[in-house]
Amino acid sequence: MAIFKPFNGVRPKIELVDKVASLPYDVMNREEAKEMAEGNEYSFLHVVRSEIDIDDSVSQYDEKVYQKARENLDNMISEGILVQDEQSKFYIYRQIMDGRVQTGLVGCTAIDEYLNNTIKKHEFTRPAKEQDRINNFDHCDANTAPIFLTYRKNDKVNNIINDWIKFHKPLYNFTSEDGITHIVWDINEEEKVNEISGLFNNTDYLYIADGHHRSASSVKVGLKRREENPNYTGEEEFNFFMSVIFPDEDLFIMDYNRVVEDLNGNSADEFINKIEEKFLIEEYKGEGQYRPDSKHKFGMYLEDKWYVLEAKEGTFDKNDPVNSLDAAILQNNLLNPILGIDNPRTNERIDFIGGIRGLGELERRVNKDMKIAFSMYPTTIEDLMGVADAGEVMPPKSTWFEPKLRSGLFVHKLS
């Protein structure tokens, strides 16, 4: 069973929502965040990337940064930029990107279900990145950004959402600067709220789509609060973290591509000869860049040419949920043995480029500071769930979800 409960959301005044809502903290660096928030005192980046309000000589992980995040959040609440709902609610969050629609529910999930694996993971986390969000959430006494979860679709849940949308006016309806439309409704009828909670009680598992570091950090803040409050009942808000839950059929995963800065001492001809052992290879004769059209195919850009690579039969285990992933096939049969990228999480010779930036970005990087690029076929949501169900972990940078959840539309107070 999955616990999914309503909460008293802290959210922007209607007339300021488009100014408050920001991209998530982890899709930009400090310089980019400062540029995005320039001239916008309402941007929620002042909370999730509060180092933009502190001198650049101060580390973005300094205690002062997290104190500033709390100060900025408190100011936004005291000045009425953000207002807390008096009633505990679920919220419907719809995003429209290039005509594609994904519609989810915003509520709170239980830290205990993260710990007992009712909420399933598919990625490792890095301690430093966890600690950053632990400090932000703990100092702010709030989940300042939601976790992106998914579940196997439930027609009854879909019917409730669709019926509610049909007969109720949205709280927010705006288009952000990247062209994505964001629409929010609140579900404020107790009977409907209870019905939704009941339906999720009959859901076996939830899956983290995006936000492994945020979820791990939320859980550790909750456990810290339990230690500080040994008589806790389990009903306190710190026992839960804010999540947006989308049905699996709505989600859109884009390609997550690779660029490498050298050929590990090989000439181009030597390199191509070596990869022919595990891959069928031919020069791409089409126009523009090569975008793979099926699993186990890869594009390769080398010395101003695009090539089509296809993994040969027998070079991977089709029945292994991890090693049959394209990211694993490329890593195990090319990046590691030929290019020497032993650990893509830490090796500084490789970089990753989300599909939203287009394949032209791969060419630009090769022409600028890299030697070779690989375009990937997108991982499917079925692949993700299969890995999670097997209790396994996906290779790094296997999934790029679009659109991203905006920060600042909802805040969940922990006390």
Q: To the nearest whole number, what is the mean pLDDT of the chain?
A: 96
pLDDT confidence of residue 126: 86
- How many other C-beta atoms can be found within 10 angstroms of the C-beta atom of residue 361? 17
Task: Determine contact, residues 19/101, Cβ cutoff 8 Å.
Answer: no
User: Given the structure tokens 């296809």, which residue do they identify?
Assistant: 310
pTM of the model: 0.92
**Torsion angle, alpha carbons of 326, 329, 332, 338, to 10:** -100
pLDDT confidence of residue 34: 96
Alpha carbons 151 and 249: distance in angstroms, whole number: 9
Which residues are within 8 A (CB) of 74 and not within 5 positions of it... i.e. 6 or more apart? Answer: none
Task: Determine contact, residues 66/50, Cβ cutoff 8 Å.
Answer: yes
CA–CA distance from 315 to each of 269, 273, 309, 324, 330 (Å)? 22, 16, 13, 9, 10
CA–CA distance from 236 to each of 108, 195, 353, 413, 415 (Å)? 12, 22, 40, 10, 7
Percent of the chain with pLDDT over 90: 97
Residue 399 has pLDDT above 90, yes or no: yes
pLDDT interval class at 262 (50, 70, 90): very high
**pLDDT higher for 328 or 125?**
328
Percent of the chain with pLDDT over 70: 100
pLDDT confidence of residue 117: 95
- Quick one: how far is CA 288 from the chain centroid? 29
Give the pLDDT confidence of 83-117 residue by residue, as tens digits: 999 999 999 999 999 999 999 999 999 999 999 99
- For residue 39 the two structure tokens come to 């001239």
Residue 272 has pLDDT above 90, yes or no: yes
- For residue 259 the two structure tokens come to 């660029």
Q: What are phi and psi of 185, to 5 degrees?
A: -120, 155
Alpha carbons 42 and 55: distance in angstroms, whole number: 19
Task: Determine contact, residues 243/168, Cβ cutoff 8 Å.
Answer: no
Give the pLDDT confidence of 316-373 residue by residue, as tens digits: 999 999 999 999 999 999 999 999 999 998 899 999 999 999 999 999 999 999 999 9
pLDDT confidence of residue 345: 87
- Quick one: how far is CA 22 from the chain centroid? 14
